[in-house]
Homo-oligomer: A and B are copies of this chain.
């Protein structure tokens, strides 16, 4: 399975074009300013400053988080993608300058981490549990691959290769080497990505090493902690070393535990290795983890990691809507995991989840103008509770400009600037259409050049028109039938086809000719959803969705006290595209009810049961991802249903 390169794709799509322009025109320039501490009112990043200090260009101390280096890497990755679909010599020059600054700090043996270069190289690789060196290298590697693919320039790539050689010399299962692994995963999937380009066996082997060494007895992190006589923050926690997914060997995992971002990054790395090596046992572990994460620990928005304590997974069916963490990065990481599982299996179940996460819990992390970001993506918000209840103090009612720990903003940027390569993949003689994103593609399938034009108003409308723009080519065009869709039609040149989907994909194999046309109509309508009855917090409640989008009620449309609202299970929805609202959204309206007992005395909290009084109320729903783009107010995804 191969991803299309973003060079092969021109996205032309009302929904994603807007995001692409935002990433290119606003987010990337804004984040560059942030990385250079030039955004007024935002927390300083110190990221580029650290590189200059490390290179000896300016005096100073290391500032910011220990993993601050990674922010510019994620930014460079986003820039790389952007240069593929929107070449821009000026941006490339800025990025080249960033690469120069980065490389200037590289040590003679390849080592490159500003925290230790500034604070003392004798301490490097002595606190893998906490200090994120290998995490930064992982992001460096991912960025270097993309930047090389985008520009053909080798400087950054060569720097990454040198650092990886250095790490390979130090780490490994052989005697005399350090039997360590990263406290925060990402290097595993990065090394496989590098391997896909270099075909250098060591790169894959090193990824395998980091995965297989993890959690072996005696525990490296435990010994490291003793050696350092330092604090093990999670000693008294429920997860202990599983906070790092390092309490046991990864092949023994059967549920997601600990820090959610680290978790899905590791699982992505495991899947990436399993794909390359065909390791069945490793793949089975991935499957178990996938089933657990998406079948027992995922919000309807695709958000994962319900607890702010350790930004962590907790336990099956524990999905509180109001104290949720649901970090943007965890959603992005789940997308990474989903894609790799799909690449192995060609099963739409992975892409169905990917779509759910993308359209809901991932893009909710960014404001519609691309300048503000959520770390936490709640499903229920009451502003007063965020202010005054410590358990909800992490739940912000407005997106923030930039964070001291700014992992999420550049993560969204690199995801969205590469979104086309998630939409289209290919293997053998088969071209997969995973996401319905409009655009023009020119690529090769099975050695044949093909051109494809996709036009759609997705996610507002389920009609998709696909036409071929080149001469004859024989291959399978595989279309994902989204899991939200109960009724669809697919036609070729106007003639309806009735092909039974295989693992959720309809395969249309033929000799495609220029101007052949596939039309799909995935019928979208508003749907009431219910949660598995094991989900305590959603009991007796429903959530509204339409197509891939989960909807929510906001105070701006429906007034405060959203908890007093309930809807009838047979309620009918009207839909309307409102082009001036929230950059253009389909809103839903339905009749609901609001409890309006007026006979409560001022200071009465409890009384014998009386039938509550409900008044009819028209409810207006907006797509979840677009919430908190007006005034701060209440929001709720799950709403009580009468029974």
Listed by A's residue number, 18 A-B pairs whose Cβ atoms lie within 8 Å are A291-B602, A295-B604, A300-B605, A300-B606, A307-B391, A314-B389, A315-B385, A382-B536, A486-B608, A529-B607, A533-B561, A533-B612, A536-B563, A539-B563, A540-B566, A569-B609, A609-B641, A612-B643
Residues of B within 8 A of A534 (CB): 561
User: Closest Cβ of chain B: how far from A297's Cβ, in Å?
Assistant: 8
Q: Which residue from chain B places its CB closest to the CB of A595 in the assembled complex?
A: B533
The reply on A227 being an interface residue by CB < 8 A is no
Q: Do A391 and B391 have beta carbons less than 8 Å apart?
A: yes
The reply on A557 being an interface residue by CB < 8 A is no
Number of copies: 2
Render A289-300 as a binary contact track against B, CB cut-off 8 A, 1 for contact: 001001110101
User: Closest Cβ of chain B: how far from A600's Cβ, in Å?
Assistant: 6
Render A303-334 as a binary contact track against B, CB cut-off 8 A, 1 for contact: 00001111000110010100100000000000
Chain A interface, number of residues (Cβ within 8 angstroms):
63
The reply on A448 being an interface residue by CB < 8 A is no
User: Closest Cβ of chain B: how far from A291's Cβ, in Å?
Assistant: 5
The reply on A610 being an interface residue by CB < 8 A is yes
The reply on A530 being an interface residue by CB < 8 A is yes
A: residues with CB less than 8 A from B are 237-238, 291, 294-296, 298, 300, 307-310, 314-315, 318, 320, 323, 382, 384-385, 387-391, 486, 527-536, 539-540, 542-543, 561, 563-564, 566, 569, 595, 597, 600, 602-612, 640-643
Q: Do B389 and A600 have beta carbons less than 8 Å apart?
A: no
Q: Do A609 and B309 have beta carbons less than 8 Å apart?
A: no
Q: Do A318 and B604 have beta carbons less than 8 Å apart?
A: no
Residues of B within 8 A of A569 (CB): 609, 611
| A390 to B237 CA separation, bound complex (whole angstroms) | 8
Q: A295-B604, A314-B385, A542-B609 are in contact. List 17 more A-B contacts (CB 8 A).
A: A237-B390, A238-B390, A291-B602, A307-B389, A307-B391, A308-B390, A314-B388, A318-B384, A320-B391, A323-B391, A486-B608, A530-B607, A530-B609, A531-B605, A531-B606, A535-B605, A612-B643
Residues of B within 8 A of A536 (CB): 382, 563
Residues of B within 8 A of A609 (CB): 527-530, 542, 569, 641
Q: Do B391 and A543 have beta carbons less than 8 Å apart?
A: no
Q: Do B604 and A532 have beta carbons less than 8 Å apart?
A: yes
Do A388 and B238 contact each other (CB < 8 Å), given the known contacts A539-B564, A539-B640? yes
Q: Do A296 and B540 have beta carbons less than 8 Å apart?
A: no
Q: Do A600 and B314 have beta carbons less than 8 Å apart?
A: no
